[in-house]
């Protein structure tokens, strides 16, 4: 029982980490696309 709980928590943690990374990348891409000086 504790094994599956540990696994679920690990998956949740990894998902949260991945989401954070994707959000950070999205912010960087938006900054480059929409706020980059060379595009104005």
**So what's the pLDDT on residue 37?**
64
**So what's the pLDDT on residue 10?**
92
**So what's the pLDDT on residue 1?**
61
Backbone angles phi, psi at 39, to 5 degrees: -90, -5
State how many domains the chain has: 1
Buried b (16+ CB within 10 A) or exposed e, 17-27: eeeeeeeeeee
Distance CA 17, CA 12 (A): 9
Nearest 10 degrees: CA dihedral of 34, 26, 24, 17? 170
Identify the domain containing residue 13 by its residue range: 2-39
Residues of the chain with pLDDT under 70: 1, 35-40
**So what's the pLDDT on residue 15?**
93
């Amino acid at each position: 029982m504790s094994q599956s709980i540990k696994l679920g928590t690990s998956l949740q943690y990894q998902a949260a980490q991945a989401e954070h990374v994707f959000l950070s990348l999205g912010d960087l891409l938006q900054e480059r696309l929409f706020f980059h000086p060379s595009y104005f």
